[in-house]
Amino acid sequence: MFFKKLRKDIAAAKRNDPAARNAFEIWLTYSGVRALIWHRRAAVLWKIRFKFLARWASQWAKFRTGIEIHPAAKIAPGVFIDHGAGVVIGETAEVEEGVVIYQGVTLGGTGKEKGKRHPTVKKNAVIACGAKVLGGFTVGEGARIGAGAVVLKEVPPYATVVGIPAHVVRINGERTQDLLPEKEDPVIKELCALRERVFALEEALNRNKEKNADHEDL
């Protein structure tokens, strides 16, 4: 079972990384693959209630690879963590087969939740560099999360989300009607208010000029 999962991890690296050359090199040098190997060992220890040893194993893997995965997180075989430095995956996170995770990604919580606090990432989703996915919601199958995005709510299947907070810009490759986030930008709102005030002042000034011109004619 262990070697079957490892073969899937190596195949995922070959499939997603054009620089990958052979299975031995991937097994020996790819930090994402090494982190998953250590995670599976830690997960076994966690299940048999050797929780201190499980946490020690996860911290050792973090020291060696730069990737921190909680022993209780559920990660399917065939996940690819590319480069991986700074990746953090929380306790109740679930990651399904075919998911690609780039460096600096966090699958975390907001600190306000109990129980299922971390996201579930469905098959073949891609989470780009530096993205933060925070909360116990679902990232749909085939979804794409842009670099640096902060995702705070559910992502539909095959959607592309970007921004802070993240919002949907494409679904199934088609642009959505509204590309703006749900909350208005306070800076833009203030600029619009100032512009309207300038227009009103200019109109009042022009009326005063016209009145003064009429008085001069008289």
Beta bridge mates, 134: 108
* Total domains in the fold of the chain: 2
Q: Which residues contact 157 (CB under 8 A, 6 or more apart)?
A: 122, 140, 141, 142, 143
115 and 59 belong to one structural domain = yes
Question: What is the domain-level CATH number for residue 70?
Answer: 2.160.10.10
Which of 11-15, 32-36, 139-143, 180-184 is predicted least confidently? 180-184
- Say yes or no: 102 and 152 in one domain: yes
In the predicted model, is pLDDT for residue 180 greater than 60?
A: no
Q: Are 149 and 164 in contact (CB under 8 A)?
A: yes
Q: For residue 173, what pLDDT is reported?
A: 72
| pLDDT tens string 71-99 | 999 999 999 998 888 999 999 999 999 99
97 and 194 share one domain: no
Q: Transcribe the chain into DSSP letters.
A: -HHHHHHHHHHHHHHH-TT---HHHHHHH-HHHHHHHHHHHHHHHHHTT-HHHHHHHHHHHHHHHS-EE-TT-EE-TT-EE-S-TT-EE-TT-EE-TT-EE-TT-EEE--SS--SS-S-EE-TT-EE-TT-EEESS-EEPTT-EE-TT-EE-S-B-TTEEEETTTTEEEEETTEEPS--S-SSPPHHHHHHHHHHHHHHHHHHHHHHHHHHHHHHHH-
Residue 213: give the domain boundaries.
184-218
Looking at the fold, whether 97 and 115 belong to one and the same domain comes out as yes
Indicate whether 162 and 207 sit together in one domain.
no
And the tokens for 121?
Answer: 């990432």
pLDDT attached to residue 165: 86
> Would the pTM of this model clear 0.85, i.e. be above it?
no
Structure token pair of residue 187: 């800076």
Segment 122-137 mean pLDDT: 92
- Residues 146 and 208 both lie in one domain: no
Same structural domain, 49 and 155: yes
b/e code 16-28 from CB counts within 10 Å (16+ = b): ebeebeeeeebbe
Judgement on whether residues 61 and 157 belong to the same structural domain of the protein: yes
- For the stretch 184-202, pLDDT in tens is 566 666 766 777 777 777 7
pLDDT winner (highest mean) among 13-17, 54-58, 111-115: 54-58
Q: Which of 177 and 118 is assigned the larger pLDDT?
A: 118
pLDDT surpassing 60 at residue 177: no
For the record, the structure tokens of 63 come out as 């020291």
Q: Do residues 143 and 78 both lie within one domain?
A: yes
Condensed to tens digits (0 to 9), the pLDDT of residues 6-33 reads: 888 888 888 888 888 888 888 888 989 9
| Distance in angstroms (rounded) separating the CA atoms of residues 87 and 168 | 23
195 and 140 assigned to the same domain: no
**Distances from the Cα of 112 to the Cα of 80, 107, 118, 159, 164, angstroms:** 29, 15, 11, 26, 19
Same domain, 129 and 148: yes
Say yes or no: 170 and 189 in one domain: no
